[in-house]
Amino acid sequence: MILFDKLSIRLRLLVMVGVGAVFGVILLATALYSLNAFRNDTRSVADDVERATQALTLVSGAQNAFQAQLRGLKNMVIRNFMPAEFDKAREEFLAERAKFWQHIEALEKIDGTGTIKGTAKLAEIRQQATELNKLYDDVIAENEAGMPKYTVMVDAALRGTEQPLTDELANAYQAISAATTALASESSQLADRRFMASLILVLVVGLGGSAASLLLAATLGGRILARLGGDLEPVVAATRRVSEGDLTGTVQSGKAAADSLVAAVEAMQKRLRGLIGQVKQGAEKTSGNAQALSTSADEVAQAASAQSDAAALIAGAIQELTVAITVMAESAGAAADAGRLTRDKASESGSIILEAIGEIGNIAVQAKLSTRTIGDLNQHTQEISRFAQEIKDISDQTNLLSLNAAIEAARAGEAGRGFAVVADEVRKLANHTAGTTHKIENLVTLLDGAARQTAEAVATTAHLAEHGTQLASNASDAISDIKDNCERTMHATNDIVDVLAEQRQAAEQIARNTERVAQMIEQGAGAAVKSSATAREVASLAEGLRLATLQFSV
């Protein structure tokens, strides 16, 4: 019960409804259980009755088949002298015997467990039928059509043999019929017993659930009334007076519990009376403070507007500074590009001058080689001149010898004429050799002069090549200095570009910050305007609240 005391009235009512629903479900489940048990019992009995009915049908069919089998056998005996009738009767006999055994086998399948009363003698019926079949087969085998002399003998042999089997079949039929009747009676009695048991169970569960529900309802109802505090008419009257603005009355809870609804309403009325008085005083103070707040908010809005204008001017100046820094950065970048181009050109010129120095060095080397070659040529020319002089001397001697030979030939007369001719030819050859030698001397003189001029020109070329190498080396050094200066200038320009880029970023950051400050100032101005409007609205609401509190009587 302590747990129920902690629950609200709504939860207590829900608990009552829930308990009633649970008992209703239990009652329904009990009824369903009883109906299901009754259905299972009825179904079981119905199955037994159905099997018994099938067994009766099969026994009756076996009896009919056996009687038809006997008729066929008698017809065979009686119409032995007519072969066609004999064969027809034998076919009827065999067909009915097959039907008989089909019914017997079906009975054995139905009562495989021996649960049907009256079929316990199926084994005896099968044994007797088997013995009769053997006897009938022997008779048929020995009795053929057209042998009427054996008719009396066969009739005597078969008479009375079918009676035991006929009696067993009749007894089985009567037993199964009696068992079926007993099953029907037992089923009726079982249904009556199951109905009474189910009725008693449902009544017990229903009455018990109803009693428990009534007890729970009485208990929870009493506690709910205690929680309410008794009659609710004073509460209704008090709440009606409160709705009309009259807080001067009392509920007069009397002996109601402190935690009851009546006591809570009375405490609420007293609390409202105090709160309304405080609200009146607060509304009057709030109205005055709201007027002062509205005036201050207007002043803040004006100051924020002035700050917003100043921030806009600062943002414009910073924007112009950013543009100027951007232009300077672009100019410095162009200067850096020009320095880079000059450095590249200086590097290219230095490479060309180095190649020229190499070529001039090659020219100087070739000039020195040419000087040595010309010296060798002078030596060879002098040797040629010496050889020419020797040839000239030999030619002069040969000429003298030819003159002497001519003189001696003239002295010899006719005998020395041939020798004179030879001496004359030798003299001509000596003169020709002398002329050729003179030409060689002239040519050697010319070669010697040309060699001297060439040697002087080569020496001058070598001197000029050395001087050009020196000048080219000086030019290479100057270009290297130019390249170094360009490198330093380019680095300095890049540093300027980097500094300007940082300054531009800083200026842009300052501009963004200034814009944000301006936006914040504008937002502050807007907030101040809204605050002023809100203050005026608060003042209006406070005045309305004060007027509203005047409607209450405290």
Helix, strand, coil shares of the chain, percent, nearest 5, are 90, 0, 10
Q: Of 214, 204, 255, which is closest to residue 234 (Cα–Cα)?
A: 255
Q: Where are the domains of the chain?
A: 2-228, 273-522
| Residue 257 near residue 243, CB atoms below 8 Å | no
Q: Which of 92-96, 199-203, 429-433 has the highest mean pLDDT?
A: 92-96
Beta bridge partners of 553: 246
Show the CA angle centred on residue 159, arms to residues 158 and 162, nearest 5°: 80
Residue 110: per-residue pLDDT: 76
In this structure, which amino acid lies at residue 18? Answer: G
Span 314-321, mean pLDDT?
A: 68
The distance from CA 139 to its chain's CA centroid, rounded to whole angstroms, is 92
% of the chain with per-residue pLDDT over 90: 1
Spatial distance between the Cα atoms of 427 and 230, rounded to a whole number of angstroms: 187
Of residues 342 and 429, more confidently modeled: 429
Q: Is the pLDDT of residue 149 over 50?
A: no
| Residue 92 near residue 124, CB atoms below 8 Å | no
Dihedral sign, Cα of residue 65, residue 70, residue 74, residue 80:
positive
Spatial distance between the Cα atoms of 149 and 152, rounded to a whole number of angstroms: 7
Spatial distance between the Cα atoms of 29 and 206, rounded to a whole number of angstroms: 11
Residue 62: per-residue pLDDT: 84
pLDDT band at 73 (very low <50, low <70, confident <90, very high): confident
pLDDT band at 436 (very low <50, low <70, confident <90, very high): confident
pLDDT band at 193 (very low <50, low <70, confident <90, very high): confident
The distance from CA 176 to its chain's CA centroid, rounded to whole angstroms, is 75
User: Which residues of 498-549 form beta strands (DSSP E)?
Assistant: none
Of residues 8 and 370, more confidently modeled: 370
Of residues 73 and 103, more confidently modeled: 103
Q: Of 364, 358, 363, which is closest to residue 472 (Cα–Cα)?
A: 358
CATH T-level assignment (fold) for domain 273-522: Helix Hairpins (1.10.287)
Show the CA angle centred on residue 117, arms to residues 114 and 122, nearest 5°: 60
DSSP 359: H
Q: Is the pLDDT of residue 157 over 60?
A: no
Output the pTM of the full model.
0.32
Q: Is the pLDDT of residue 336 over 80?
A: no
pLDDT band at 251 (very low <50, low <70, confident <90, very high): low
Span 77-87, mean pLDDT?
A: 74
Span 168-192, mean pLDDT?
A: 75
Residue 311's contacts (CB-CB under 8 Å, 6 or more residues apart) are 514, 517, 518, 521
Residue 410: per-residue pLDDT: 79
| Residue 42 near residue 159, CB atoms below 8 Å | no
Spatial distance between the Cα atoms of 170 and 63, rounded to a whole number of angstroms: 8
Task: Name the burial class of residue 347, with classes exposed (0-12), middle (13-18) and buried (19+) by CB atoms within 10 angstroms of its CB.
Answer: middle
Poorest-pLDDT segment among 57-71, 93-107, 265-279: 265-279
Residue with tokens 């302590």: 2
Spatial distance between the Cα atoms of 223 and 43, rounded to a whole number of angstroms: 51
Spatial distance between the Cα atoms of 375 and 373, rounded to a whole number of angstroms: 5
Residue 402: per-residue pLDDT: 76
pLDDT in tens, 90-138: 888 889 889 989 988 888 787 665 555 555 567 778 888 888 888 777 7
Spatial distance between the Cα atoms of 72 and 363, rounded to a whole number of angstroms: 154
Residue 146's contacts (CB-CB under 8 Å, 6 or more residues apart) are 80, 81, 83
